[in-house]
Amino acid sequence: MMALAIATANQISEVLKKAIRDKIKNYAPETKHMPFQYRLIGQKRYEMFSFVHSLNTTFGMSIWEQVAVILAQSTGYHAERQYELLGEIDDSTESLITQYHSELKNRKKDNLIPINKSSEIEQIRQSVKPGKPLKDDDSIIDLYVLIGGVNNYFDITAAKPNKKEFAAMKLKLLRWTGLKLSQEQNAQVFSRLAIPYNPYHPKKYNRWTLRGLYDLGGGEVLVGEEFWNYVGGANIYEDLLDVFQETGEELRPELDKKFAEFK
């Protein structure tokens, strides 16, 4: 029995078809002269690679967010993409967050005491002062989902960020907590990292650059199936993969025609 409603599956399929067809119709390489790559790989081969890379970029920029919103809304959750979180973090709390973040980054590999996300949130809650609802450098959130009274703020990222990128995202998650609590000190808030798929499957996601920065046992980082099932409110992951496959089969002639241009 399909856990994903047919109407929801159709809605997701339409998002995918529109994104791919727009890319096929409007794609133009950003760089038209790459003499070293063309000589080494061949111009047409490189142009095909560039097109596929552009498709992947489209997923990172919008498709994951749109699909997540559809899934969350289909189960009755309030969800928005590119959500604007307003707030004002006072100097004392900003200093607390910055110092704590610096300590996390500089910890020795042999002294990585597990992170406690709930403790982080409570420290910020106890420190933050009421502020004005202002725009901030970190105001825009990839995905916002309200589940059971908990404000979930997701930063949707690529499958293999490096250590510097993971550290920057951790600071953003801490600041999101501060921004929300500056407006509503008793709010239930949980900022998270979402990684749409596990590149190490069937093994567990095991990116060493995560360690020492995130509460890996407390749901601060949701990878692949965990993420999609969480926002979808049920075990919908396999059904979601089927939607992608069926949509891909429908689009195959159009994609093949585009790929033929690079031969």
With pLDDT > 70 as the criterion, what percentage of the chain qualifies? 97
* CA–CA separation, 1 and 239 (whole Å): 10
CB atoms within 10 A of CB 100: 16
51 contact partners, CB below 8 Å, separation of at least 6 = 27, 29, 258, 259, 262
The pair of three-digit structure tokens given for residue 147, joined into one six-digit string: 């589940």
pLDDT (tens digit per residue) in 59-90: 887 899 999 999 999 999 999 999 999 999 99
pTM score over 0.95: no
* Tokens encoding 145: 């989902």
Same domain, 53 and 150: no
- What backbone torsions phi and psi does residue 25 show, to the nearest 5 degrees? -75, -40
| 122: containing domain | 78-233
Q: Do 102 and 129 sit in the same domain of this protein?
A: yes
Fill in the amino acid letter for 142.
D
159 and 119 in one domain? yes
* pLDDT tens digit sequence for 13-62: 999 999 999 999 988 877 778 889 889 889 888 888 888 888 888 888 78
Q: Alpha-carbon distance 242 to 4, whole Å?
A: 10
Alpha carbons 153 and 136: distance in angstroms, whole number: 15
**What CATH number is associated with residue 224?**
3.40.1560
pLDDT tens for 88-113 read 999 999 999 999 999 998 876 656 67
HSE, side-chain direction, 13 A CA sphere, residue 181? 26
Give the phi and the psi of residue 145 in degrees, each rounded to 5.
-135, 125
**Token representation of residue 217:** 């046992």
**Number of domains, the chain:** 2
Tell me: do 96 and 163 sit in the same domain. Answer: yes
Average pLDDT score, the chain: 92
